[in-house]
Homo-oligomer: A and B are copies of this chain.
């Protein structure tokens, strides 16, 4: 996996830039400054090359954003399905679904920040497609809570409200988590999945 810290422009080591390196630099800068707040000249500078050379490795700035967002939302849905597959108890399904969702936001911070901030900057039809994908995950999580409530294993006034609260609580991990902080990604994920069960009133 590519390093998260792009090579400084002052380092005069000869650079062999790849598409993956361009994507990695874009991930770091888009996450820091936002899509509209990042100039391609800054991406190029982080890689130690001139702006036009970027076009040997990508088609456009917009394509970089689409690649980042599409890959991330696909990963979220894959994670979800793998986590709940074969588990029928709604409480255990909710625990696993939120644990993996929280874990992803601690381990893929840049991707999460960009998806949540810059999805509106996608051109159509990518924008609508991505919103639809995110809605899928939202509804799947909500369905687990609704099922738990129906079966008496959970208690909440509105599954929709609880689902929103749980999701966004997990998403926000990307804003404060630090790899060198006091908690590991797994510890945070365990704690947050416990919070999720408490929000859902799981007995």
Contact = CB atoms under 8 A, between A and B. Distances in A.
Interface of A: 32-37, 117, 120-121, 157-158, 161-162, 164-165, 167-169, 171-173, 175-176, 183, 188, 191-192, 195, 198-199, 201
A178 to B, nearest CB: 12
A161 B173 CA distance: 9
Residue with the highest number of chain B CB atoms closer than 10 Å, among A33, A36, A167: A36
9 contacts: A34-B120, A161-B183, A161-B188, A164-B173, A165-B169, A165-B192, A168-B175, A169-B169, A198-B199
B37 A161 contact: no
A181 B157 CA distance: 16
A135 to B, nearest CB: 11
Nearest to A175: B168
Given A158-B191, A168-B171, 8 more contacts: A33-B36, A34-B34, A34-B36, A34-B37, A37-B121, A162-B195, A165-B172, A172-B172
A188 B199 CA distance: 14
Contacts of A121: 33-34, 37
A161 B162 CA distance: 19
Contacts of A195: 162, 165, 199
Given A169-B168, A198-B199, A161 B36 contact: no
